[in-house]
A and B are shown apart, each in its own frame.
Chain A
Amino acid sequence: MVAQSITGVETGTDTAARLAARGVTVGYGARTVIEDLDVAIPPGVITTIIGPNGCGKSTLLRTLARLLKPAGGTVVLDGEDIAGLRTRDVAKKLGLLPQAPVAPEGLTVSDLVARGRHPHQSWLRQWSSDDAAVVERALAMTGVSDLAGRAVDTLSGGQRQRVWISMTLAQGTDLLLLDEPTTYLDLAHAIDVLDLVSDLQGSGCTVVMVLHDLNLAVRYSDHLVVMRSGSILAQGHPSDVITAELLHAAFGLRARVIDDPVGDRPLIVPIGRTHVQLD
């Protein structure tokens, strides 16, 4: 398992949600984005939050990651209120990749990934042999070992995103929160990154992510959370959740949902105003 081989620590087989929001209300200043929302993240699978622009999906993810402090309600991590935990202790359990992060010009891949060890380090213990070994494995697991000496800003978008995921892995958590990990990537690189996310889940990680592309979300998620205007419209397995009616209710999108010719999930075919022949 990724988490175990990274940290060497056995993880429990608790089937209860490790991360949950209970009645959270979040906003920016006077504007409320999410109101009284409940959600539980199922363990060991990929959960994806989808919804139209401005529906609060990134806000929800950032609240789960304790980047935003809810005005009401609590976020619970392993049975404890996340607001009452030391941010350093949270960082040992929960890894986060924000949207479109930027590394300083010239920072090498291995140095960036090494920063992922920060929660496990102290002033006197800034680089132990454990740190080096974990970083090596994180680089190998994301397939970027060969790039270790390169500067992050010289890489392609897809490689760069692999490196950032590698940094999050080096943090040694089995709970990963990814905010739009495929932003700015072309379809081939997006598939490449999501296959990697799927590998991580396969080796024991619980993943929560926000995605824009609905078909990619359907293909790669085990659990979908569909949001609209700051609340949850539907959630469950993509095959159960995704219907033409739901897409219309959530996005105002007219679409046909068909069987995926290469997979066992539904496929969304949007209906626009032009180049469409309906029977």
Chain B
Amino acid sequence: MNGTDVKPSVAPGLRLGGVSFVWRPWLVLVTLLLAAVTFLVFCLSIGVGDFPIGLPRVLATILGRGEQVDEFVIMDLRMPRALAGVVVGIALGVSGAITQSVARNPLASPDILGITGGAGATAVFLVTASGGTAAAIVDSVGVSAAALVGGLGTGLLVYFLAWRRGIDGFRLILIGISVSAVTEAITTWLLATADIRDVARSQAWLVGSLDNRSWSEVQVALWGTLVLLAVVACVSFQFKPMHLGDDVAAGLGVRHSAVRAALLLCAVLLAGVAVSAAGPVPFVALVAPQAAMRLTRSPTPPIPASGVVGALLLTGSDLLARTALPVGLPVGVVTAAIGGPFLVHLLVRANRR
């Protein structure tokens, strides 16, 4: 059979030996363009600070041909923060794309599935609790790691509560919202009764920030994200027919319950990695997949593009927070300021249809 005379109505293929993929030029072009813009913002973000460094010198240093002073400032001081922004953005974007695809609902995101709320409540509990075991936990593993465990625990709780002969999107979201409400109530109660200095420390954590990241923290997030992305890449092929519903997917030979469970677990872990690295940065996971869908003109959230848009959103928000605004704001405030209106835009559009 000859594949070269295929009419343009069917998507063309890209073939190399036994390997073949559907060739979608627009999707690839937009994703690469977004990645290029993200890299540019990443470099600009590294250049900004008390000791400004121009773009050419940033590039030279990243390529290992910079001067020694630049090398110290960039690689030792600024790279962890910039890299954390990219890694957390990718993790949140991909996590959101998976959650929205699995739930077949654009409003699903790790924020709604209890991960963020659980992590926040755990962190605030540890910060506000005085002495005893709480202090011991903070001393030994740190607030971020403990919050990660709290977030993952809450995410898994939501998953198991939503399980009834399989996972139904609406049930998952409703239970996620309910559990999140409980964790938020706990957080509010803790803050209302806590010492005012602890409240300030808690708020700084709750808002999500890229300040004062260390190489060791970034490395954990980086490797965790890379491993999870590899798993997602392997499983996502089996996921393609699941956008058509469980019955159609089953008819096409997909074990949908297993695929869904594996992907949701990846989404929960990715969101957990992001929360442990930067705190609960709001709205990125919700907005990135929806923006990526519209930019790439895809009917479903495209996973790679969602990750890139997440990285761009977080890196760009961080740059904006540190340059355009008079006071240095934590990045979470800016992502919420951009994400909130976008969510409203989505809802208004959906209502008018």
Contacts and interface: CB of A to CB of B under 8 A. Distances in A.
Interface of A: 62, 65-67, 86-92, 94-98, 101-108, 110-112, 114-116, 118-119, 121-133, 135-136, 139, 145, 148-149, 151, 168, 171
Given A87-B254, A115-B244, 16 more contacts: A91-B253, A94-B251, A101-B245, A108-B299, A111-B11, A114-B22, A123-B237, A126-B20, A127-B14, A127-B20, A128-B15, A129-B13, A130-B1, A130-B3, A136-B7, A136-B9
Contacts of A123: 234, 237
Task: For chain B, give the interface size range.
Answer: 35 or more
Contact of B251 (A65, A105, A145): A65
20 contacts: A65-B250, A87-B250, A91-B251, A98-B245, A101-B248, A104-B104, A107-B243, A108-B299, A111-B11, A115-B241, A115-B252, A118-B252, A123-B234, A127-B11, A127-B22, A129-B6, A133-B1, A133-B3, A136-B10, A139-B9
B76 interface: no
Contacts of B247: 62, 67, 96, 98, 101
Q: Which of B15, B22, B250, B251 has the most CB of A within 10 A?
A: B251
Contact of B21 (A87, A88, A127, A168): A127
A127 B20 CA distance: 5
A205 to B, nearest CB: 15
Contacts of A127: 11, 13-15, 20-23
Nearest to B249: A118
Given A105-B299, A124-B18, A132-B13, A89 B6 contact: no
Contact of B3 (A62, A90, A128): A128
Contact of B299 (A94, A107, A126, A168): A107
A148 B22 CA distance: 16
A98 B20 contact: no
B255 interface: yes
Given A91-B252, A127-B21, A118 B240 contact: yes
Q: Which of A110, A112, A123 has the most CB of B within 10 A?
A: A123
Contact of A98 (B11, B22, B251): B251
B192 interface: no
Nearest to B248: A101
Nearest to A153: B299
Given A67-B250, A87-B255, A145 B241 contact: no
B232 to A, nearest CB: 12
Contacts of A118: 240-241, 252-254
Interface in B211-252: 234, 237, 240-241, 243-245, 247-248, 250-252
A149 to B, nearest CB: 6
Given A129-B15, A132-B13, A133-B3, A98 B253 contact: no
A133 B4 CA distance: 10
Given A104-B243, A107-B299, A124 B19 contact: yes
B242 to A, nearest CB: 10
A95 to B, nearest CB: 7
B300 interface: yes
B2 interface: yes
Contacts of B21: 126-127
Contacts of A62: 247
A184 B13 CA distance: 36
A59 to B, nearest CB: 13
A88 B253 contact: yes
3 nearest A-B pairs in the assembled complex, by CB-CB distance: A129-B3, A91-B253, A96-B251
B2 A135 contact: no
Nearest to B16: A124
Nearest to A86: B253
Q: Which of B4, B12, B18, B248 has the most CB of A within 10 A?
A: B248
Contacts of B22: 114, 126-127
A136 B6 contact: yes
Given A67-B250, A118-B254, A112 B11 contact: no
A131 B21 CA distance: 11
Contact of A89 (B7, B241, B253): B253
A122 B237 CA distance: 8
